[in-house]
Amino acid sequence: MQPSPPPRWVVLKYGGTSVASRARWEKIAERVAACIEEGLRPVVVCSAVSGISDRLDALPAAALKGEAEAPLAAILERHRRHAADLGVDPGLVADDLDRLSRLVKGIELVGETSPRVHARVMAFGEILSTRLGAAFLRGRGLDAGWVDTRECLDALPDPDPRRAFLQAHCGHGLDPALGERLDGVGRAVVAQGFIARDADGQTVLLGRGGSDTAAALFAARLGAERCEIWTDVPGMFTADPRRLPDARLLRRLDYDEAQEIASTGAKVLHPRCIPPVRAHRIPLWIRWTERPEVEGTVVGSRVDDAPRVRAISTRTGQYLVSMDTPGMWQQVGFLADVFAVFKRYGLSIDLVSTSEMNVTVSIDPAGNAFDAERFAALSDALAPHCQTKLIGPCAVVSLVGRHIRAILHRLGPALTAFEEHRVHLLSQAASDLNLSVVVDEDQAPRLVRNLHWLLFQEAARDPAFGPSWLALSDVGEQTAEVEGITPWWHAERERLIALAAELSPRYVYHGPSVDAAAARLTALSSVDRVFYAMKANPEPRLLQRIERAGLGFECVSPAEIDRVKAACPDIAPDRILFTPNFAPREEYVAGFEAGAWVTLDNLHPLEHWPDVFRGRDVMVRIDPGKGRGHHDHVKTAGARSKFGVSFDQIDRLKALAAQHDVTVVGLHAHSGSGIRTAAQWAEVAERLVEAAQRFPTVRHLDVGGGLAVAEKPGRAGVDLDAVDATLAAFKAKHPRYALWIEPGRYLVAEAGVLLARVTQLKKKGPVRYVGVDAGMNSLIRPALYGAYHAIVNLDRLGDAPTMVANVVGPICESGDTLGYNRDLPETREGDTLLVATAGAYGRSMASHYNLRQPALETVID
């Protein structure tokens, strides 16, 4: 009798978001069934449910403080709900949850923890998710068995106990015994990522991103036909697609290129998962859990040796240590001596640059415990050898590809992107796989955008590059829908085309959309007053609608106050908030005369014009210390921002207020624009409470605006219900304060579009241009912030894209571009293009540059 052929294994890895709901597990079940149908034996390697690893990571520290009860209860409840969602018995994880509870209680009782205990706590995330997942697959009729990864993967010895337990490494040699063991578990096997065991049988972790690594180890040891990484994007891209929607899918990479992209900042794939599959020449597929039919990235042996840049990667939060001394000149062993100091302090060096009298190295805090205290100790230890200086935070921007030295001459135009940026360090890898530069962190986003356009404007014509993230998203640019919501302008298409035929360019604002946004804001139970930041759009008819909805107005100039009073003559003065910045004396006088709430943004007015404020009630703008937003120019907090009184000035503010009989009745803060983190405003409120404790007369806390809107396809705006919930929790804790907010874009951005007619079409080499009659004099946000606005052809709405083009205006500036690399249907002269989400900071920031009339405004119902 012929022996049975050996099993053909395939490893499927699913991350935290991919195992967090029944809908995702349905897709996993479909994939497992498809692999079995193909004659393969799937090993399903799963992470913990999304968010659980972070909670488990914080548990030991909470236990040491006696504060673990609430977070532990949240973890237990999350898995009970998850079991209910999957329709499986929650009793399957009862013993594991009980063991976790006892372990955490032990930490609390003993009053200490260790890397060994921390690893045991963290392992429960994967154990819990896989027990429930295996039961779900069995409930779907699949022969799925559960296996403990700690009985399959053995860690290599490591003398450092922290690394040994929290950053363990495993061998990846072929292991026939593992295949024989798994062969009896089930047709499909469900195992955990992230964990392994040491020689003593103790639980160890493979480090964050360790589920990718565990999957690759299973594939290598089983000699699998392939390893599939299923995640929340289709694959690896030419840049981070979440930040650069026109980034292109990389269809195929060799192992070296993929590892370099992952090592230099891409989050899709962990760098440590490449060596095991490379050693056995196992193909690695990266696929999209949500849409398995979409093509992904295949990582394998080299098939294309042509010199080219494949991607731009970024790592932020980096620090440089610069070491100066004339003593290193021709000194034998200098580098060995200073690097030994870094080793003594457990610091891993990334990039290195040397000159005659300086060595500069980069430190990645993601892999190092690095802070001011650690640097001070390092600097003292290096003092006998050199003088040190810390530079940061910085960003490392890397051009990743193959044979980069061979195409340096072709990179010339792209390198001009560095002209406006301070470059602290430049490194060209000996492997010829990357060219990295270190710049100030706040310069990285703009630099990446410029480099991407210069390097990949021809990507649409290169078969090595797949579709853009926009084209792959569930909702493409031609529909610009988010979460199934069709924009208002779809229903008004014919009317908008007619309006553009009458007059173009033209802003059109949809009144009912403004009303709807205002209604959502006034429905917030936690907010006492809403002030519209009218600098976003001061169109009088919109102001009237907003005033009728019960909102007040935040004004930043006397002219804005006058505009509000002219449009809304019956408005009460206390519905006007005046927040000038670096304004002259007379503007504060005008604000008080108008009866508005007047906000101090600086100590200078109190120090030099006390008579203006004597006996007055004032608001004070506080700098919360950290800005947020979609671009550095819209972050309005932190030392690099010109706004607000910093915390170290509060004592001086209190003294000046007492000296000049000024009553501080409210505090105000604003962190930035386009913020999606729901807890942001509650965090700002807590920060304001810290300052308010110095001023017992404070009654109002204004937490600012910045509520993000859905400006990019496939990317939703801020969750307003979640914002309300976090602010309600704050108010329950601090009932004495009234909460104010002051959104601008949220009210009007989605209600406005810019209509433009196509004037000319042009092709230069591989680059196509669509010229329109609206330029940066009408909408400057793309040029100023690199802001993204969806652009559609209204005349051919819904048609499939057939061209990739830059949409440009008539202004005599290279930056006069409304959108780069946009997927459009075949477009002709006279077509009407619509620029979406343009109701905020469009006409209000317009100019007559080139003596061209900016787009006029129309309001429709």
Say which DSSP state 186 is in: -
Is residue 707 within 8 A of residue 675, CB to CB? The reply is yes
Long-range contacts of 166-169 (CB under 8 A, 24+ apart): 166/115, 166/118, 166/119, 166/204, 166/205, 166/207, 167/205, 167/206, 167/207, 168/196, 168/198, 168/204, 168/205, 168/206, 168/207, 169/206, 169/272
Write out the two tokens for 856.
Answer: 């006029």
Catalytic residue among 46, 170, 273, 812: 812
**Close Cβ partners of 373 (under 8 Å, ≥ 6 residues apart):** none
Tell me the pairing of strands 576-578 and 597-600.
parallel
- In whole angstroms, what is the distance from residue 649 CA to residue 828 CA? 59
Q: Does residue 35 have an active-site annotation?
A: no
Local structure of residue 487 (DSSP, 8 states)? P
Residue 550 tokens read as 């019960």
Which phi and psi (to 5°) does residue 354 adopt? -125, 150
Which are the contacts of 861, defined by CB distance < 8 A and separation ≥ 6?
A: 511, 512
* CA–CA separation, 462 and 460 (whole Å): 6
Beta strands (DSSP E) in 469-526 are 506-510
HEC letters along 99-151: HHHHHHHHHHHHCCCCHHHHHHHHHHHHHHHHHHHHHHHHHCCCCEEECCHHH
Is the bond preceding 326 in cis, omega lying within 30 degrees of 0?
A: no
677 vs 629, 630, 682, 723, 726, CA distance in Å? 10, 12, 10, 8, 11
Closest CA to 365 of 402, 399, 390: 390
Q: Which two tokens stand for residue 548?
A: 């009728």
Question: For residue 416, what are the contacts with CB-CB under 8 A and spacing of at least 6?
Answer: none
**Active site residue ranges:** 812
